Amino acid sequence: MGADRDRDDGGGRDPGSIRLDSRALRARHPRGALGGARWWGAAVGSPALRGPPRPTARGGDPGASDGDEDHRCLHRVVHRGRPDPRRLPHGGRPVTRAVITGWGKCRPPLSLTNADLERLVETSDDWIADRTGIVERGMCHMETTDMAEVAARHALAAAGLEPTDLDLIIMCTLTPEVSCPSGACSLQERLGAVNAAAFDLNAACSGFVYGSVTAASMIAAGAKRTVLVVGVEKLHFLIDYRDRNTCVLFGDGAGAAVYQASDDPDVPDAGAPGVLGTDLGADGVAGSTMVVPTLGSRGELSSFRDPEHSRLHFEGQAVFKIAVRGMIDSVCRALDRAGLTADDVDLVVPHQANERIVRAAASRLGLTEDQVMLNIATHGNTSAASIPMALNDALDTARVRPGDIVVFTAFGGGVTWGSVVLRWGDRVERLGTSDAALGPVDMTVDELLARNREFFAPLHD
């Protein structure tokens, strides 16, 4: 879709960029065919963003292009008010960066397939797969904290650490088991991580990126040295399985990563592993596009849970437009801050929102199929859990190599967005394994979802 059609007509600003009128947008981004044999380019039907550099509210130049290339963050820009990270001297103080040393996931054993959904709503396998790329999604018969614990134990084993080695636990979720105590504190107790501070973070689908930036910042500041970041969601609790526009998208699951400080003085800045650049942003003006109205203080204490105000509200078309722009601009800003361009990227692990969104963003960045990790077909959209689960699968399938430049990028409710650029360390194998798993399943997926269908039934009478 051309940039002029993507303009925010609702009065809000574009994620990460200043508002331009349609004439200015057309002048900066004239329509044109995708250059070269780009992955997915024609499939989406969206011409690449082209034209001279686009200004942003942050003073960067994320869309720089010479007019002959796709929207690929190809040009580095002047780093105003801060040293260019490519020109820091190799001597001086050691660089303290956050390096991922452990990873794990929990994919629930129950699956809700497209064939199952054909029996529940007016839809078809072809309709779902063509529009989302999803074939099945995990459904959890236990609680959010149970999934978080499984993923965390696998991540700690992969890092060769004990729970007592942790300084901090960040749980990223919009579906906590209870409001208080926080899920992170419950996880701390279960793990026996007695030395760790703990808190929850809610940035919806951007949660793991927000948590990773928080962990990396605290490590760089010297406040913490070993941080566990968990993304976990039990989304089926919020889904009306008579609404085909939302029930086909979401799944349950958990993913975790251990970030540790790396400050080896013998490693030059230019080659040190760890987080190199980040970007976070939000725009509350567009917050109504993705809403979970329940689980808050709004409403009367004496009222029962209302089906109309308990289900996930999701405006797919609006989200698509904002998400593609938001992730592209965010990736470009994070790469700029790392002193890199899209040509330096080895692998992007995006939020698994919808295959069409990922394809659109990837084609505009000029990425090949090998540069993008997708596992949405078997997991669905797991919100804050999607990136760490996809990272786990990328490592298991040798998609990450030592020294690779890896990018995380996400867009979620709020609305929020963010990206992390990191250089992978020397190790891509687990130091240890764990036998942690969810308890046995004693029901079918239809039985699991029966309460949801009964609760939301009044909306369809």
Among 29, 141, 154, 351, the one annotated catalytic: 351
Question: Is 245 an active-site residue?
Answer: no
Question: What's the rounded Cα separation, in Å, for the pair 172 and 183?
Answer: 9
Residue identified by tokens 């508002």 is 19
- Give the phi and the psi of residue 232 in degrees, each rounded to 5: -150, 140
As a whole number of Å, the CA-based R_g of the chain is 22
Identify residue 137 by its one-letter amino acid code. Answer: R
Q: What is the DSSP letter of 141?
A: S
Strand partners, 228: 169, 258
To the nearest 10°, report the CA torsion of 368, 411, 152, 430: 10
Among 114, 202, 354, 381, the one annotated catalytic: 381
Among 106, 185, 205, 332, the one annotated catalytic: 205
Residue identified by tokens 């926080």 is 182
Question: What's the rounded Cα separation, in Å, for the pair 272 and 276?
Answer: 9
Question: What's the rounded Cα separation, in Å, for the pair 331 and 446?
Answer: 40
SS (H, E, C) 62-91: CCCCCCCCCCCCCCCCCCCCCCCHHHCCCC
Kindly give the pairing relationship between strand 168-172 and strand 226-233.
parallel
Question: Is 381 an active-site residue?
Answer: yes
Q: What is the DSSP letter of 397?
A: T
The three-state secondary structure class of 49 is coil
Nearest CA to 375 out of 389, 364, 359 is that of: 389
Question: Is 205 an active-site residue?
Answer: yes
Q: Is the dihedral of CA 295, 300, 306, 309 positive or negative?
A: negative
The catalytic residues are 205, 351, 381
